[in-house]
Amino acid sequence: MAQTLRLDPQGTPVPPTEHPDAEKAAALKRMKNIALGLLVFMAVVFCFAFAFQEHYPWLTYVRAAAEGGMVGALADWFAVTALFKYPMGLKIPHTAIIPNRKDEIGASLGDFVETNFLSEEVVSQKLATTRIAQKVGAWLSKPASAQRVATEGAAALRGAIEVLKDDDVKDVIESMVRKHVLEPPWGPPIGKLAERIFAEGHHHALVDLLVDRSTTWIRTNHSTISGLVSDRSPGWVPQFVDGLVGDKIYTEIYKFARAVQDDPRHEVRLQLDGYLKDLAQELQHDPAMIAKAESIKAQVLGDPEVRELAGRTWETIKSALTDAAEDPNSELRLKFAAAVQDFGTRLVEDTELAEKANQWISNAAAYLVGTYKHEITSLITETVERWDAEETSQKIELQVGKDLQFIRINGTVVGSLAGLAIFTIATLVFG
């Protein structure tokens, strides 16, 4: 079946990508062929030297070297092969070590990593010299980096908003409102807050505003006040008397309002202060007033109102966050990027802050390693256990098999030298 060629953006055919292990497999095969070729070469040399050594005595030394090389090559071939499979299919004891002991190897590898790499001391020492906070700060202080963080954060925010279900969020908001707003009684906390406000005199500004507005309204509504007097007087009273009475009442009301306005210690103000302070105390301690406040709360925030409030709140938040995430120039994203860049600059310039950050990172990493190192290393053990025995052997041979073939080559060379040396020494000693 013909393979379909992929095209790059310019329309140029892209050659098919080889399997990532294809190069390693080719190198392993090449080294195996070299080792095998060297063994065959030694066998040919041995046969030639053995056949002609009577005619050429010096060939006995060549024969001894070739014989030793063959022995070394075969011995190392057996040793290397026994790691991954049964040599020539013979189930010799202590062969095919990796397939037969796969699970034990995985467990040992996990224990090795846990003991030597995932210890709190090792992690803490490494992080102490890494200066992560300063490096992160230097990266974050760059405008492009801060903008990238803001972009990635916006993408994460959009994803979270898409995943969240509106009804679920509304239920959460509603439950929070009920738990933190509706269920606690309103009277005591409102009374306590009002008591502090009234004791410190913060309400006087509001009283002044009300008095000023009332005085201004009275001054500009002479006809309205006079008209109220005329409308409520008996019909037999002459009209000019109504006018005189209305003017008199207007004048007295206006004088009274001006007096309250001008005198901070006016009796009305003092009475109002006393009433407000008593109200604050009643909201805290009077069961009848507390019950009345609860009744007002129930009337204002019933079930439909709370549900509607939760819905409007989530819609407002969702709309604001979505708009901010979609717009690269939104105020929220710009401020977030500026805050990230400022934080990065502080990590670089503020040594004390950087040291605190490094210490926190070190402590957090040490805690995670100390608490979850067994779970981390279990990934190695469980992964190896899931592997097929033959597949595991192939994977490991693919990774280290090329280097192991050098053992066969070295064994051939060392065997040749050893055979030559042994034969030479024996000849010199025994003749």
Give the tens place of pLDDT for each residue, 371-396.
Answer: 888 888 888 788 777 777 777 777 77
What integer pLDDT is reported at residue 3 of this predicted model?
Answer: 44
Quote the pLDDT of residue 9.
47
Contact partners, residue 258, CB within 8 Å, separation at least 6? 215
Burial class, 178, CB count within 10 angstroms (exposed 0-12 / middle 13-18 / buried 19+) = middle
Mean pLDDT, range 172-195, rounded to an integer:
82
Contact by Cβ (8 Å): 336, 153: yes
Q: Tell me what the pLDDT averaged over the chain comes to.
A: 82
pLDDT at 63: 92
**Per-residue pLDDT averaged across 274-296, rounded?**
86
Q: Is 277 exposed, middle or buried (0-12, 13-18, 19+ CB in 10 A)?
A: middle
351-366: pLDDT as tens digits: 888 888 888 888 888 8
Question: For the whole model, what pTM was predicted?
Answer: 0.51
- What's the start-to-end Cα distance of the chain, in Å? 70
- SS3 state at 14: strand
pLDDT exceeds cutoff 50 at 90: yes
pLDDT grade for 417, boundaries at 50, 70 and 90: very high
Q: How far is CA 404 from the centre of its chain?
A: 42
Residues 6+ apart with CB under 8 A from 97: 82, 83
